[in-house]
Amino acid sequence: MNSSFTAVFPRAKGPSRYCKNLGTWPSGEASLKLHERRTAANCGRASLYCLRLPTKSHLLLIIFVLLATAKPSDIPQRGHETFPLSVLSSCAAGQAHFLPFLQVLAWIPNFAVNGFGFIFASAALCAVNICNSGTCYEHGTAQICVCPLPFKGPTCAEKASLCVDDCGIRASSGLDCQSALCSLGTCVDTDVSPYFKCECGDFFQGTNCEQPSNPCTGAVNPCGQGTCSFAPGKGTGTVTCQCHEDWEVAPGASVVTTKWGNSEVVMNPPCSVRVSRGLANIPFTLSSGELVFWWTVFAVALCFLLWCCYTVAAESCGSCFRKFKIAGQVQRAAGA
């Protein structure tokens, strides 16, 4: 004689479930389905029994009614936490299968043998390992799973990600778990406490990657007489120099690439040349080619001026150059 216990109450909402013995949850069926298939050669456990649970932060006590199509005379009465399914006549005594997550509240009629009746029962989920790695607590009509890190969910079956959205920070704060835990670094979930780690890379340091580490933070300023600024990238970075007043980059200086840890850093030229100023205190700079050109112009102009003052145009040079005229006349007279 086979046994069949089928739920006759409305379906509970939510995708969470509790299934044993590789049981599956058929969509659209009742929240609880107990079905035992046995043969004379196999008096093993039921092949399918599943319990679907609400997806709340706690597990509410589920009250349901079972319609029993067969019942042995030794089915427990009210107050027992488990009850056996009926067994085949060819199965040895004591091989009845117990469902430990069921708590019998009442059997109607109170005494029936292999007949029809109703079993009023509740899901005593704390009687089994429904919370997986968590701890199950009963409080009134609620059964609550308290999950240890890094697990979460109604039955502590989900892996929490502290780096994504399980670090306890409210969305209204404007922060995210990545930046809150690892600041300027990269947050990575782990399986050991504190269940995350910060990878700072080459450009940051500290427990939470809160301190910059780059050429601009060193003891020696790579910009010389300038302000150093650093722009980090993925595997690379750039140093830019803002020269102080009266200082500039040397003419012809170019960028160089250097190593910083495992990353490459592009270094712009430092501010190493003091700016020259003219008579009006206006800074000016000349390249080497420009200096040669203007020195040539100056020399030609000076030679022309001296020639002018020593020759026929000396009268036009002004009183300040008359001594050059007198010196020229004396020299010509001596030659005569």
- Of 213, 233, 256, the residue that ends a domain is 213
Give the chain's mean pLDDT: 64
pTM (predicted TM-score) = 0.46
DSSP codes of every residue in 150-163: TEESTTS-EEP-TT
As a whole number, mean pLDDT of residues 46-51 equals 33
Decide if 30 is inside a domain.
yes
CA-to-CA dists, residue 88 to 4, 216, 314, angstroms: 12, 83, 143
User: Residue 247: what pLDDT?
Assistant: 92
SS3 105: strand
Domain match, 30 and 118 both: yes
User: Residue 317: what pLDDT?
Assistant: 56
User: Residue 183: what pLDDT?
Assistant: 87
Domain match, 47 and 75 both: yes
Domain match, 9 and 81 both: yes
As a whole number, mean pLDDT of residues 6-17 equals 31
Decide if 251 is inside a domain.
yes
* Burial degree of 138 (CB within 10 A; 0-12, 13-18, 19+): middle
Q: Give the least confident one: 62-71, 194-203, 242-251, 320-329.
A: 62-71
User: Residue 55: what pLDDT?
Assistant: 32
User: Residue 189: what pLDDT?
Assistant: 92
Name the pLDDT band for 287 (thresholds 50, 70, 90).
low
Domain match, 236 and 189 both: no
**Whether residue 93 has pLDDT greater than 60:** no
**Count of the separate structural domains present in the chain:** 4
Higher pLDDT, 205 or 291: 205
Domain match, 267 and 316 both: no
What 41-46 contacts at long range (C-beta under 8 Å, 24+ apart), as own/partner pairs, is 43/87, 43/88, 43/91, 43/92, 43/95, 45/21, 45/97, 46/21, 46/85, 46/97, 46/99
User: Residue 146: how many CB atoms within 10 A of its CB?
Assistant: 11
With a CB cutoff of 8 Å and minimum separation 6, the contacts of 310 are: 324, 328
**Whether residue 87 has pLDDT greater than 90:** no
**Whether residue 275 has pLDDT greater than 60:** yes
State the maximum Cα–Cα separation within the chain, in Å, rounded to a whole number.
163
Decide if 155 is inside a domain.
no
- Of 146, 172, 187, the residue that ends a domain is 146
Domain match, 81 and 177 both: no
The whole-angstrom separation of Cα 163 and Cα 169 is 11
Backbone angles phi, psi at 290, to 5 degrees: -65, -40
| Residue 270 · residue 226 · CB < 8 Å | yes
Domain match, 111 and 26 both: yes
What domain range includes position 175? 161-213
Domain match, 39 and 133 both: yes
With a CB cutoff of 8 Å and minimum separation 6, the contacts of 114 are: 1, 70, 71, 72, 86
Domain match, 28 and 130 both: yes
**Whether residue 138 has pLDDT greater than 80:** no
Domain match, 267 and 298 both: no
The whole-angstrom separation of Cα 317 and Cα 300 is 17
SS3 335: helix
Domain match, 232 and 307 both: no
Domain match, 120 and 175 both: no
- Of 120, 146, 172, the residue that ends a domain is 146
